[in-house]
Amino acid sequence: MTLLQISEKIRDHLTNQKARSMNSIQQCMYREGGNMCAVGCLITDEVYSPELERKAMTREEIVAAVGLSLKMKLSAETIELLKAWQNYHDNGYSKYVDHELTFYAGYERWIEEGAEPDHTQSPAAMHEHLKSLEQYDMSGEITKRYIIQVSQHVADHLLKQGKQAVDSNGSCQYRSDNGCMCAVGVLIDPKLYDAGIEGVSLSSRSVATAVAKSLGIDSTALDYDAPMFKVLRAWQRYHDNRESSFSKEEISYKAREIELTLDDKYEFPDLKD
Protein backbone atom coordinates (compact mmCIF):
# COMPACT_ATOMS: atom_id res chain seq x y z
CA MET A 1 0.00 0.00 0.00
CA THR A 2 1.11 3.54 -0.70
CA LEU A 3 1.03 6.08 2.12
CA LEU A 4 -2.25 7.48 0.76
CA GLN A 5 -3.86 4.03 0.71
CA ILE A 6 -2.74 3.32 4.28
CA SER A 7 -4.26 6.57 5.52
CA GLU A 8 -7.46 5.92 3.58
CA LYS A 9 -7.77 2.42 5.06
CA ILE A 10 -7.42 3.77 8.60
CA ARG A 11 -9.88 6.60 7.86
CA ASP A 12 -12.49 4.20 6.51
CA HIS A 13 -12.04 1.72 9.34
CA LEU A 14 -12.44 4.29 12.11
CA THR A 15 -15.34 5.96 10.31
CA ASN A 16 -17.26 2.70 10.07
CA GLN A 17 -16.35 1.36 13.52
CA LYS A 18 -17.48 4.42 15.52
CA ALA A 19 -15.89 3.02 18.68
CA ARG A 20 -12.45 3.04 20.24
CA SER A 21 -10.65 -0.26 20.72
CA MET A 22 -10.28 -0.44 24.51
CA ASN A 23 -10.24 -3.04 27.27
CA SER A 24 -12.32 -3.02 30.45
CA ILE A 25 -9.97 -0.60 32.23
CA GLN A 26 -9.97 1.89 29.35
CA GLN A 27 -6.58 0.95 27.90
CA CYS A 28 -6.26 1.22 24.14
CA MET A 29 -5.78 -2.12 22.41
CA TYR A 30 -4.85 -3.18 18.88
CA ARG A 31 -7.82 -5.56 19.00
CA GLU A 32 -10.50 -5.81 21.63
CA GLY A 33 -14.07 -7.09 21.56
CA GLY A 34 -14.25 -7.08 17.79
CA ASN A 35 -12.86 -3.54 17.53
CA MET A 36 -9.44 -2.51 16.18
CA CYS A 37 -7.48 0.67 16.70
CA ALA A 38 -5.93 2.83 13.97
CA VAL A 39 -2.86 0.60 13.70
CA GLY A 40 -4.57 -2.64 14.61
CA CYS A 41 -6.77 -2.48 11.53
CA LEU A 42 -3.63 -2.83 9.39
CA ILE A 43 -2.44 -6.05 11.07
CA THR A 44 -3.78 -9.17 9.36
CA ASP A 45 -5.23 -12.18 11.18
CA GLU A 46 -2.21 -14.28 10.14
CA VAL A 47 0.22 -11.84 11.75
CA TYR A 48 -1.75 -10.68 14.80
CA SER A 49 -0.94 -12.12 18.22
CA PRO A 50 -2.25 -11.13 21.69
CA GLU A 51 1.42 -10.69 22.63
CA LEU A 52 1.40 -7.47 20.58
CA GLU A 53 -1.01 -5.82 22.99
CA ARG A 54 0.14 -3.04 25.31
CA LYS A 55 3.27 -2.46 23.23
CA ALA A 56 3.93 0.99 21.78
CA MET A 57 3.40 1.46 18.05
CA THR A 58 7.11 2.20 17.59
CA ARG A 59 8.24 -1.08 19.19
CA GLU A 60 10.08 -3.44 16.86
CA GLU A 61 7.40 -6.13 17.21
CA ILE A 62 4.61 -3.78 16.11
CA VAL A 63 6.58 -2.26 13.24
CA ALA A 64 7.42 -5.78 12.06
CA ALA A 65 3.79 -6.94 12.34
CA VAL A 66 2.48 -4.00 10.32
CA GLY A 67 5.27 -4.39 7.78
CA LEU A 68 4.52 -8.09 7.30
CA SER A 69 0.81 -7.33 6.95
CA LEU A 70 1.37 -4.54 4.40
CA LYS A 71 4.19 -6.48 2.65
CA MET A 72 6.67 -3.62 2.87
CA LYS A 73 9.43 -2.45 5.17
CA LEU A 74 8.07 0.59 6.98
CA SER A 75 9.91 3.84 6.33
CA ALA A 76 10.35 6.56 8.96
CA GLU A 77 7.67 8.53 7.11
CA THR A 78 5.19 5.65 7.33
CA ILE A 79 5.88 5.16 11.02
CA GLU A 80 5.28 8.87 11.67
CA LEU A 81 1.95 8.66 9.84
CA LEU A 82 0.89 5.68 11.95
CA LYS A 83 1.93 7.49 15.13
CA ALA A 84 -0.28 10.41 14.13
CA TRP A 85 -3.27 8.16 13.50
CA GLN A 86 -2.70 6.18 16.69
CA ASN A 87 -2.49 9.37 18.70
CA TYR A 88 -5.78 10.50 17.12
CA HIS A 89 -7.44 7.22 18.18
CA ASP A 90 -5.94 7.17 21.68
CA ASN A 91 -5.65 10.79 22.80
CA GLY A 92 -6.37 13.35 20.12
CA TYR A 93 -4.16 14.87 17.47
CA SER A 94 -1.86 17.41 19.12
CA LYS A 95 1.53 19.10 19.03
CA TYR A 96 3.04 15.62 19.42
CA VAL A 97 2.67 15.31 15.67
CA ASP A 98 1.79 18.87 14.67
CA HIS A 99 4.02 21.41 16.35
CA GLU A 100 2.13 24.38 14.92
CA LEU A 101 -1.20 23.14 16.28
CA THR A 102 -2.89 23.94 12.97
CA PHE A 103 -5.31 21.09 13.57
CA TYR A 104 -6.64 19.36 16.65
CA ALA A 105 -8.97 16.40 16.61
CA GLY A 106 -9.80 13.42 18.78
CA TYR A 107 -11.64 10.24 17.83
CA GLU A 108 -13.41 9.97 21.19
CA ARG A 109 -14.73 13.52 20.93
CA TRP A 110 -15.99 12.81 17.39
CA ILE A 111 -17.93 9.79 18.67
CA GLU A 112 -19.34 11.69 21.66
CA GLU A 113 -20.56 14.52 19.42
CA GLY A 114 -22.54 12.30 17.10
CA ALA A 115 -19.98 10.72 14.78
CA GLU A 116 -21.09 12.70 11.76
CA PRO A 117 -18.84 12.07 8.70
CA ASP A 118 -18.28 15.79 7.99
CA HIS A 119 -17.56 16.77 11.62
CA THR A 120 -14.33 18.70 12.26
CA GLN A 121 -13.16 15.89 14.57
CA SER A 122 -13.94 13.10 12.12
CA PRO A 123 -11.48 10.55 10.70
CA ALA A 124 -12.15 12.14 7.30
CA ALA A 125 -11.02 15.55 8.62
CA MET A 126 -7.95 13.94 10.13
CA HIS A 127 -7.11 12.27 6.81
CA GLU A 128 -7.47 15.52 4.87
CA HIS A 129 -5.23 17.32 7.33
CA LEU A 130 -2.51 14.68 7.03
CA LYS A 131 -2.72 14.95 3.25
CA SER A 132 -2.08 18.69 3.53
CA LEU A 133 1.20 18.24 5.40
CA GLU A 134 4.35 18.43 3.30
CA GLN A 135 6.10 15.78 5.39
CA TYR A 136 3.92 13.04 3.92
CA ASP A 137 3.89 11.88 0.30
CA MET A 138 0.15 11.39 -0.13
CA SER A 139 0.04 11.61 -3.91
CA GLY A 140 -0.88 7.93 -4.23
CA GLU A 141 1.69 7.47 -7.00
CA ILE A 142 3.99 4.45 -7.15
CA THR A 143 7.21 6.24 -6.20
CA LYS A 144 10.79 5.02 -6.02
CA ARG A 145 10.55 5.26 -2.24
CA TYR A 146 7.59 2.89 -2.14
CA ILE A 147 9.20 0.38 -4.53
CA ILE A 148 12.30 0.34 -2.32
CA GLN A 149 10.11 -0.37 0.73
CA VAL A 150 8.68 -3.42 -1.04
CA SER A 151 12.16 -4.43 -2.23
CA GLN A 152 13.52 -4.22 1.31
CA HIS A 153 10.68 -6.42 2.54
CA VAL A 154 11.64 -9.05 -0.04
CA ALA A 155 15.32 -8.77 0.93
CA ASP A 156 14.53 -9.22 4.64
CA HIS A 157 12.38 -12.26 3.85
CA LEU A 158 15.06 -13.98 1.77
CA LEU A 159 17.72 -13.27 4.38
CA LYS A 160 15.56 -14.65 7.19
CA GLN A 161 14.47 -17.70 5.16
CA GLY A 162 18.02 -18.37 3.97
CA LYS A 163 17.09 -20.81 1.22
CA GLN A 164 15.02 -21.28 -1.92
CA ALA A 165 11.36 -22.21 -2.12
CA VAL A 166 11.46 -25.35 -4.30
CA ASP A 167 9.47 -28.53 -4.90
CA SER A 168 10.79 -32.11 -4.64
CA ASN A 169 12.30 -31.81 -8.12
CA GLY A 170 14.21 -28.64 -7.26
CA SER A 171 11.91 -26.39 -9.30
CA CYS A 172 11.34 -22.94 -7.81
CA GLN A 173 7.90 -22.32 -6.31
CA TYR A 174 5.97 -19.28 -5.15
CA ARG A 175 5.07 -21.33 -2.08
CA SER A 176 6.71 -24.69 -1.42
CA ASP A 177 5.34 -27.54 0.66
CA ASN A 178 7.83 -26.84 3.47
CA GLY A 179 6.41 -23.34 4.00
CA CYS A 180 9.12 -21.43 2.12
CA MET A 181 8.17 -18.58 -0.22
CA CYS A 182 10.13 -17.11 -3.10
CA ALA A 183 10.85 -13.42 -3.69
CA VAL A 184 7.46 -12.88 -5.32
CA GLY A 185 5.52 -15.48 -3.36
CA VAL A 186 6.11 -13.63 -0.09
CA LEU A 187 4.13 -10.69 -1.55
CA ILE A 188 1.05 -12.75 -2.43
CA ASP A 189 -1.65 -12.72 0.22
CA PRO A 190 -2.58 -16.25 1.40
CA LYS A 191 -6.20 -15.59 0.45
CA LEU A 192 -5.16 -14.72 -3.11
CA TYR A 193 -2.69 -17.56 -3.58
CA ASP A 194 -3.70 -20.37 -5.93
CA ALA A 195 -1.59 -23.43 -6.67
CA GLY A 196 -2.44 -22.88 -10.33
CA ILE A 197 0.11 -20.06 -10.52
CA GLU A 198 3.02 -22.41 -9.83
CA GLY A 199 5.25 -22.62 -12.87
CA VAL A 200 3.71 -19.42 -14.27
CA SER A 201 5.94 -16.36 -14.73
CA LEU A 202 5.56 -12.99 -13.02
CA SER A 203 4.79 -11.42 -16.40
CA SER A 204 1.58 -13.46 -16.66
CA ARG A 205 -1.63 -11.62 -15.85
CA SER A 206 -2.65 -14.15 -13.17
CA VAL A 207 0.51 -13.70 -11.09
CA ALA A 208 0.82 -9.94 -11.66
CA THR A 209 -2.83 -9.46 -10.63
CA ALA A 210 -2.39 -11.54 -7.46
CA VAL A 211 0.68 -9.53 -6.46
CA ALA A 212 -0.95 -6.18 -7.27
CA LYS A 213 -4.10 -7.01 -5.29
CA SER A 214 -1.98 -8.19 -2.37
CA LEU A 215 -0.06 -4.90 -2.35
CA GLY A 216 -3.22 -2.87 -2.83
CA ILE A 217 -1.97 -1.23 -6.03
CA ASP A 218 -3.24 -1.02 -9.60
CA SER A 219 -2.21 -3.97 -11.77
CA THR A 220 -0.66 -1.56 -14.31
CA ALA A 221 2.15 -1.02 -11.79
CA LEU A 222 3.25 -4.55 -12.69
CA ASP A 223 3.09 -4.17 -16.45
CA TYR A 224 6.14 -5.54 -18.23
CA ASP A 225 9.07 -3.09 -17.87
CA ALA A 226 7.30 -1.00 -15.21
CA PRO A 227 9.70 -0.16 -12.33
CA MET A 228 7.97 -2.43 -9.80
CA PHE A 229 7.96 -5.31 -12.30
CA LYS A 230 11.68 -4.90 -13.00
CA VAL A 231 12.52 -4.88 -9.31
CA LEU A 232 10.50 -8.01 -8.54
CA ARG A 233 11.86 -9.77 -11.60
CA ALA A 234 15.41 -9.00 -10.42
CA TRP A 235 14.67 -10.47 -6.99
CA GLN A 236 12.98 -13.49 -8.55
CA ARG A 237 16.03 -14.19 -10.70
CA TYR A 238 18.25 -13.86 -7.63
CA HIS A 239 16.06 -16.34 -5.74
CA ASP A 240 15.97 -18.81 -8.62
CA ASN A 241 19.74 -18.73 -9.16
CA ARG A 242 21.10 -21.99 -7.76
CA GLU A 243 24.33 -20.21 -6.82
CA SER A 244 22.66 -17.55 -4.63
CA SER A 245 24.09 -17.77 -1.12
CA PHE A 246 21.33 -15.78 0.65
CA SER A 247 24.02 -14.20 2.81
CA LYS A 248 23.60 -10.77 4.39
CA GLU A 249 26.41 -9.35 2.27
CA GLU A 250 25.06 -10.76 -0.99
CA ILE A 251 21.47 -9.71 -0.36
CA SER A 252 22.55 -6.22 0.75
CA TYR A 253 24.57 -5.86 -2.45
CA LYS A 254 21.59 -6.97 -4.54
CA ALA A 255 19.26 -4.52 -2.80
CA ARG A 256 21.70 -1.66 -3.43
CA GLU A 257 22.08 -2.71 -7.06
CA ILE A 258 18.30 -2.55 -7.47
CA GLU A 259 18.12 0.90 -5.84
CA LEU A 260 20.74 2.19 -8.26
CA THR A 261 18.69 0.85 -11.18
CA LEU A 262 15.74 2.92 -9.99
CA ASP A 263 17.95 6.02 -10.09
CA ASP A 264 18.19 5.71 -13.89
CA LYS A 265 16.26 8.82 -15.01
CA TYR A 266 16.62 7.81 -18.65
CA GLU A 267 14.98 4.43 -18.17
CA PHE A 268 12.39 5.65 -15.63
CA PRO A 269 11.95 9.36 -16.39
CA ASP A 270 8.60 9.65 -14.60
CA LEU A 271 9.51 7.73 -11.45
CA LYS A 272 9.52 10.18 -8.55
CA ASP A 273 11.45 9.95 -5.31
Instruction: Name the pairing type of β-strands 35-36 and 31-32.
Output: antiparallel
Cα–Cα distances in angstroms (integers) from residue 90 to residues 3, 36, 39, 174, 230, in the given order: 21, 12, 11, 40, 41
- Report the distance separating Cα 210 and Cα 187, nearest Å: 9
Query: What pLDDT, on a 0 to 100 scale, did the predictor assign at position 205?
Result: 94
Our measurement of the distance from residue 9's CA atom to the centroid of its chain's CA atoms, rounded to an integer in Å, reads: 11
Indicate the domain borders of the chain. Answer: 3-132, 144-262
- Report the distance separating Cα 218 and Cα 234, nearest Å: 20
Backbone angles phi, psi at 171, to 5 degrees: -85, 135
Query: What pLDDT, on a 0 to 100 scale, did the predictor assign at position 235?
Result: 97
Q: pTM of the entire structure?
A: 0.89
pLDDT in tens, the chain (273 residues): 999 999 999 999 999 999 999 999 988 999 999 999 999 999 999 999 999 999 999 999 999 999 999 999 999 999 999 999 999 999 866 554 555 556 778 899 999 999 999 998 999 999 999 999 888 989 888 999 999 999 999 999 999 999 999 999 999 999 999 999 999 999 999 999 999 999 999 999 999 999 999 999 999 999 998 999 999 999 999 999 989 999 999 999 999 999 999 998 888 888 888
Which alpha helices (H) appear in the chain, and where do they start and end?
3-17, 60-70, 76-90, 107-112, 123-132, 144-161, 205-215, 227-240, 248-262
Is residue 89 a contact partner of residue 102, using CB atoms and an 8 Å limit? no
Tens digits of residue pLDDT in 60-117: 999 999 999 999 999 999 999 999 999 999 986 655 455 555 677 889 999 999 999 9
Q: What is the CA radius of gyration of the chain?
A: 20
Backbone angles phi, psi at 257, to 5 degrees: -60, -40
Read out DSSP for 52-67? GTT--TTSHHHHHHHH
